[in-house]
Amino acid sequence: MTYFGRKLLVSLITSLLTVMGFTAIGIFTMEPEAIGFGLATAVYVFPAIFLYGLPVSLLSDLSTIKLHKARPMVAFFIHILFVLVPTLIIFLWDYDYSAFSQLALTAPVAVLYWIVDELSRRWAQDRNSDGYRLNGRMTIISAGVVSLVLLAVSFSWVYQNMFPEEITPTVYQIPEGYEGWVQIIYDQDSHPPLTEKYEHLVASIPEEGILRTSSSYEGSSVEDEYYYVDKKGSKKRLELQKDIHGNSMGSFHTQTSDGEDVTYDNIYHFFVGKKEEFEQSSGFALETHLPELRDQKPFHFYIPEDYQGWVQVEYGIEEGQSYMEANDKAIIQVSEDGKAAIPPEQIEYSPKIDKFYFVDSEGIVTEIPEKLVHEVLVNPYVLTFYIGPKEEYEKVAPFDYPAYLKESS
């Protein structure tokens, strides 16, 4: 057999062994996708080996023609080098780290090509030797075992990345009309798991936009669905990029004023609303939404029934009589003229924790709808907000903070 004929045979054997190895592993795992993946490699393996692997092997022989004992190892490193070179080029082209993942597939094939080439070289040299039959067969068997092990390792890595465990899709049910950030905090043992219905996990988001669950996060799926749900259970589909933005995983760590470490490792969050509102959002501040992360108790603003207009709450007033702490809240009583004075020197406002209420003459408390509360601002010395319909709020002048400072000085 001629030299070039032997090289063609080496390329053919390596291609067949590679495809057969991947297909055999697919059959062994009894996974239909894996079997298909093994057979599909033929489309890429044959051209790659004949158009790239064969010239590299010819170059290797030319480079090592004057070497003797060191020739096999030098040839080995040349085969590996020409696997690394394109990988580095792809990476440097656009800094795509996924290029390195291809080494799990290409490196074992390069090693297999080198083994087959070395065996064929020995066969060509020793075919007339009396010891060829025994040594050649044992070498071929050993090389075959090594090649199958290398292929098995690379196949399992590639298969795990190309065919990951099936992820159960999640249906996110959001209260109708909710706008803003939503957070699902996973791995919270003291809270119930997500329910499963019709092969979907169901995440029912509370009014405050934060759901805690003992379930673990499986990952996002193209089959995930987002809905507005009204009080009657009717659903309205929300679309990604149109109604849902910024969906991603994150973690959170902080320390309370008592020195206690608080860590949430798996938090899935997304924004519900128009794209321009999402772009104007400064991001989700978890510490302003969870009561246990705040130094102050949730504020309940008690406002006289039918009051409409600007409310100003002065803080840092030692003699302020508008403030009373209960077990789980701090009540701020607003007067008939829309003013209140409270002792705390600092005030934290959290839109998903703090509440607003109307109080009638008999002391009956009714929560004020969010649509009637506008422009809550924490200024130095005073917190302000407007109570009333949106159309009335848009007609009035903004709160005159400079005038307030001048008046209070």
Six token digits for residue 307: 């009051």
Nearest to 152 by CA among 109, 194, 115: 109
Q: Do 151 and 10 fall into the same domain?
A: yes
pLDDT band at 118 (very low <50, low <70, confident <90, very high): confident
CA distances to 1, 226, 261, 277, 298 from 243, rounded to whole Å, are 68, 9, 35, 10, 30
Q: Do 236 and 304 fall into the same domain?
A: no
Q: Are 244 and 230 in contact (CB under 8 A)?
A: no
Instruction: Tell me the C-alpha distance between 319 and 18, whole Å.
Output: 84
Least confidently predicted of 33-42, 147-156, 229-238, 296-305: 147-156
Report the interhelical angle of 103-126 vs 132-162 (nearest 10°): 170
Instruction: Tell me the C-alpha distance between 366 and 355, whole Å.
Output: 11
Q: Are 224 and 238 in contact (CB under 8 A)?
A: no
In this structure, the chain runs to a length of: 409
Q: Do 152 and 59 fall into the same domain?
A: yes
Q: Kindly report the number of other CB atoms within 10 A of residue 82's CB atom.
A: 18
Task: Determine the average pLDDT of the residues in 72-83.
Answer: 86
Q: Do 283 and 324 fall into the same domain?
A: no
Q: Is the pLDDT score of 133 beyond 50?
A: no
Q: Do 362 and 382 fall into the same domain?
A: yes
Q: Is the pLDDT score of 132 beyond 50?
A: no
What pLDDT score was predicted for residue 347?
82
Task: Determine the average pLDDT of the residues in 193-210.
Answer: 88
pLDDT: which is higher, 96 or 190: 190
What pLDDT score was predicted for residue 128?
45
What pLDDT score was predicted for residue 389?
93
Six token digits for residue 204: 């029912």
Q: What is the mean pLDDT of the chain?
A: 79
Q: Do 118 and 226 fall into the same domain?
A: no
Question: What is the domain count for the chain?
Answer: 3
How does strand 339-342 pair with strand 309-315?
Answer: parallel
Write down the residue that tokens 């089959």 correspond to. 223
Q: Are 289 and 360 in contact (CB under 8 A)?
A: no
pLDDT band at 284 (very low <50, low <70, confident <90, very high): low
227 residue type, one letter: Y
Q: Is the pLDDT score of 372 beyond 90?
A: yes
Q: Do 131 and 265 fall into the same domain?
A: no
Collect all residues with Cβ–Cβ distance below 8 Å to 12 and sequence separation of at least 6. none
Report the interhelical angle of 3-29 vs 103-126 (nearest 10°): 130
Instruction: Tell me the C-alpha distance between 22 and 151, whole Å.
Output: 7
Q: Do 31 and 136 fall into the same domain?
A: yes
Task: Determine the average pLDDT of the residues in 103-132.
Answer: 72
Q: Is the pLDDT score of 292 beyond 60?
A: no
Q: Do 66 and 151 fall into the same domain?
A: yes
Most confident range (mean pLDDT) of 44-53, 137-146, 236-245, 274-283 is 236-245
Which range marks the domain in which residue 201 is found? Answer: 170-291
Residue that finishes a domain, picked among 247, 264, 291: 291
List of E strands, 71-220: 170-175, 180-185, 195-197, 200-204, 210-212
319-359 pLDDT tens trace: 878 899 887 788 999 999 999 999 988 887 877 778 999 99
Q: Is the pLDDT score of 129 beyond 50?
A: no
What is the pTM assigned to this prediction?
0.43
Task: Determine the average pLDDT of the residues in 305-328.
Answer: 88
pLDDT: which is higher, 126 or 12: 12
225-247 pLDDT tens trace: 999 999 888 999 999 889 999 88
pLDDT band at 155 (very low <50, low <70, confident <90, very high): low
Residue that finishes a domain, picked among 237, 261, 291: 291
How does strand 330-333 pair with strand 299-304?
Answer: parallel
Q: Is the pLDDT score of 103 beyond 80?
A: no
Q: Do 157 and 38 fall into the same domain?
A: yes
Least confidently predicted of 19-23, 232-236, 359-363, 376-380: 19-23
What pLDDT score was predicted for residue 108?
81
What pLDDT score was predicted for residue 99?
55
Q: Is the pLDDT score of 263 beyond 80?
A: no
Instruction: Tell me the C-alpha distance between 326 and 134, whole Å.
Output: 91
Q: What is the DSSP string of 251-279?
A: EEEEE-TTS-EEEEEEEEEEEES-HHHHH
pLDDT: which is higher, 284 or 307: 307
Six token digits for residue 207: 């009014």
pLDDT band at 140 (very low <50, low <70, confident <90, very high): very low
Task: Determine the average pLDDT of the residues in 190-203.
Answer: 90
Report the interhelical angle of 3-29 vs 32-48 (nearest 10°): 170
Q: Where are the alpha helices (DSSP H) in 234-355?
A: 275-280
Six token digits for residue 250: 């994150």
Residue that finishes a domain, picked among 141, 162, 183: 162
pLDDT band at 91 (very low <50, low <70, confident <90, very high): low
Q: Do 11 and 132 fall into the same domain?
A: yes
Instruction: Tell me the C-alpha distance between 84 and 79, whole Å.
Output: 9
Q: Do 242 and 317 fall into the same domain?
A: no
Instruction: Tell me the C-alpha distance between 39 and 34, whole Å.
Output: 9
